[in-house]
């Protein structure tokens, strides 16, 4: 039995927030284009409209004003770039797709709008633009809003760049409350009444969720591209800050490695389309499968825990192993050297904080491992102690940098979605990014 989230809007409009039972309506990733088209057609028939208006979403602020009846959707048709649809037309259904971002419906006497509001859209002002669009189409009528299911404060852990985007707070440790931010911004934009269905897509399995399901909920190439550009811009800015503090220092290239542990093999071409060139896999068997399917699209690294019994599966495929940290792995590396891809190099994983039970060699073991390695040691890698604050990682990144300098090693693989900016400021040459690229 379907539990519908159907709400009435002023002027006879209605908003329906669909669920998993209604099907995946995203043509990118998910269940494929044909199934998505069927799901959207079933939705159109179910809500009784002649046409659906939707755009090519890119986490921006463009809201399309739909003032003429849209033409029937054709497969492969290029849609206008927009993260919202506003219309005064009866018989038109305004549609956005969301799987953790907030869908926000607006209604008044004379029109409706639906907005796709992730954290970037919220920060950039998509809600204000939606209110503006509806007023342009319907006049100065009181507007009512309904905030639909999306990532909740209970589950939505984000990096420092997201917290920095919202000076109005709503931080809960590492988590952020997008629902509360949306409600406040709607009221500030002059909306008369705001409802919130109060559902979190991450922990409520009735809904699709990028965070919970990864690619199955529909990766979007435009999202990955925008995120990659943002990460590169932040890396460039961090490098400039470092050079400003240390005049005369040479600019260092920093590689962005996309962590693909939770990316399905069939979705990897989306990453290539978005401009990703270097990927890292954590698991040996998945590495084999993904290289076999899409080896030519990327440069490949191995970033997971290096188990000695898996060495033979890994060495034919990668340019760099980030995590050598045991005598047994060294022995297996030598044993299977004939299988290795030409030019294979390794990074030694160092437990710089000396955490008990954590993978990594001690700093005083570096020389011995370099001497015994059958392939060149290109540098060092570390995972600092877990902390909600990126600044807490700085001392450990700085310690790894000094170890690399002492041993005359070039590369430093350090920094993930949580703390890569700090890592770059402390000398990282490779940052390993997962969540920040895909959501």
**Domains parsed from the chain with CATH numbers:** 5-217 (3.60.140.10), 221-438 (3.20.20.10)
Higher pLDDT, 36 or 379: 379
Which contiguous run of DSSP H or E holds residue 304?
none
Tokens standing for 234? 């932040």
3-12, 264-273, 349-358: which has the minimum mean pLDDT? 3-12
What is the band of 2 on the pLDDT scale with cuts at 50, 70, 90? very low
Give 74 or 71, the one with higher predicted confidence. Answer: 71
Burial of 287 (0-12, 13-18, 19+ CB in 10 A): buried
Q: Are the C-beta atoms of residues 415 and 239 closer than 8 Å to each other?
A: no
Name the more confident of 29 and 100.
100
More reliable by pLDDT, 29 or 123: 123
Which of 350, 301, 343 minimizes the C-alpha distance to 326?
A: 350
Q: Report the DSSP pairing between strands 278-281 and 299-302.
A: parallel
pLDDT mean over 352-374: 95
DSSP state of 50: S
- Listing DSSP states for 60-119 in one string gives S---EE--SPPPPP-TTPPPPB-SEEEE--TTEEE----SSSEEEEEEETTEEEEEEE-H
Q: Is the CB of residue 347 less than 8 Å from the CB of residue 381?
A: yes
Greatest CA separation for the chain? 77
For residue 76, the model assigns a pLDDT of 57
pLDDT recorded at residue 161:
75
Under DSSP, the state recorded for 317 is T
1 pLDDT higher than 70:
no
Decide: helix, strand or coil at residue 421. helix
Q: What percent of the chain has pLDDT over 90?
A: 66
> What's the chain's average pLDDT?
89
- pLDDT tens column, 128-177: 999 999 999 999 999 999 999 999 999 998 877 788 888 767 888 888 99
What is d(CA 226, CA 436) in angstroms, rounded to the nearest whole number? 10
17-56 pLDDT, tens digit per residue, is: 999 888 888 755 444 567 888 888 888 888 889 999 998 8
Q: How many CB atoms lie within 10 A of CB 173?
A: 8
In the prediction, which pLDDT does 215 show?
Answer: 47
Nearest to 41 by CA among 107, 93, 117: 93
Neighbouring CB atoms inside 10 A of 123's CB total 19
Q: How far apart are CA 238 and CA 115, in angstroms?
A: 33
Q: For residue 257, give the H/E element and its range.
A: strand 255-259
| Listed ranges 3-7, 159-163, 392-396; the one with the highest mean pLDDT | 392-396
DSSP 159: -
Q: Is the pLDDT of residue 391 over 80?
A: yes
The stretch 314-323 carries a mean pLDDT of: 97
As beta bridge partners, residue 87 has: 112
The alpha carbon dihedral of 404, 405, 410, 413 has a sign of positive
| Position with higher pLDDT, 68 vs 25 | 68
Residue 392, exposed/middle/buried by CB under 10 A (0-12, 13-18, 19+)? middle
Express each pLDDT in 225-273 by its tens digit.
989 999 999 999 998 888 877 766 667 899 999 999 878 887 888 899 8
Q: Could you report the per-residue pLDDT of 176-187, keeping only the tens digit for each? A: 999 999 999 999
Distance between CA atoms of residues 364 and 260, nearest Å: 32
Task: Please work out, in degrees rounded to the nearest 5, the angle formed at the alpha carbon of residue 258 by the alpha carbons of 253 and 260.
Answer: 160
Whether the model pTM is above 0.75: no
Question: Which tops the pLDDT comparison, 279 or 4?
Answer: 279
Neighbours of 259 (CB within 10 A): 22
Closest CA to 82 of 138, 126, 37: 126
Which of the two residues, 418 and 280, has the higher pLDDT score?
Answer: 280
């Amino acid at each position: 039995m379907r539990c519908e989230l159907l709400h009435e809007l002023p002027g006879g409009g209605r908003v329906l927030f669909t669920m998993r039972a209604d099907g995946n309506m995203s043509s990118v990733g998910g269940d494929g284009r044909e199934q998505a088209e069927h799901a959207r057609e079933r939705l159109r028939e179910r809500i009784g409209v002649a046409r659906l208006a939707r755009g090519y979403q890119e986490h921006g602020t463009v809201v399309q004003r739909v003032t003429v009846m849209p033409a029937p959707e054709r497969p492969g048709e290029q849609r206008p770039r927009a993260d919202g649809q506003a219309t005064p037309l009866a018989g038109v259904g305004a549609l956005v797709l969301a799987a953790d971002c907030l869908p926000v419906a607006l209604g008044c006497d004379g029109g409706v709008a639906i907005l796709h509001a992730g954290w970037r859209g919220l920060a950039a002002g998509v809600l204000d633009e939606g209110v503006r669009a509806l007023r342009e189409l319907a006049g100065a009528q009181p507007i009512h809003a309904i905030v639909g299911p999306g990532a909740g404060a209970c589950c939505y852990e984000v990096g420092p760049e997201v917290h920095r985007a919202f000076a109005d707070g709503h931080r809960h440790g590492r988590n952020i409350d997008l629902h509360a931010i949306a409600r406040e911004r709607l009221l500030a934009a002059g909306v008369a009444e705001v409802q919130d269905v109060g559902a979190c897509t991450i922990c409520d399995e009735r809904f699709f969720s990028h965070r919970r399901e990864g690619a199955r909920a529909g990766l979007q190439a435009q999202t990955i591209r925008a995120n990659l550009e943002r990460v590169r811009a932040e890396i460039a800015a961090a490098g400039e800050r470092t050079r400003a503090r240390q005049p005369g220092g040479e600019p260092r290239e920093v590689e962005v490695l996309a962590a693909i542990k939770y990316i399905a093999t069939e979705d990897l071409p989306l990453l290539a389309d978005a401009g990703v060139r270097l990927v890292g896999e954590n698991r040996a068997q998945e590495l084999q499968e993904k290289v076999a399917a899409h080896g030519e699209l990327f440069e490949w690294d191995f970033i997971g825990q290096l188990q000695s019994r898996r060495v033979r599966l890994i060495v034919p495929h990668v340019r760099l192993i980030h995590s050598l940290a045991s005598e047994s792995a060294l022995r297996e590396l030598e044993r299977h050297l004939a299988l290795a891809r030409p030019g294979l190099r390794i990074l030694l994983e160092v437990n710089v904080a000396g955490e008990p039970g954590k993978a990594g060699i001690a700093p005083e073991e570096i020389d011995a491992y370099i001497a015994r390695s059958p392939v060149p040691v290109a540098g060092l890698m570390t995972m600092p102690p877990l902390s909600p604050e990126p600044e807490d990682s700085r001392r450990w990144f700085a310690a790894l940098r000094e170890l690399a300098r002492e041993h005359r090693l070039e590369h430093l693989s350090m920094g993930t979605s949580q703390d890569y900016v700090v890592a770059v400021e402390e000398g990282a040459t490779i940052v390993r990014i997962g969540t920040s690229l895909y959501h």
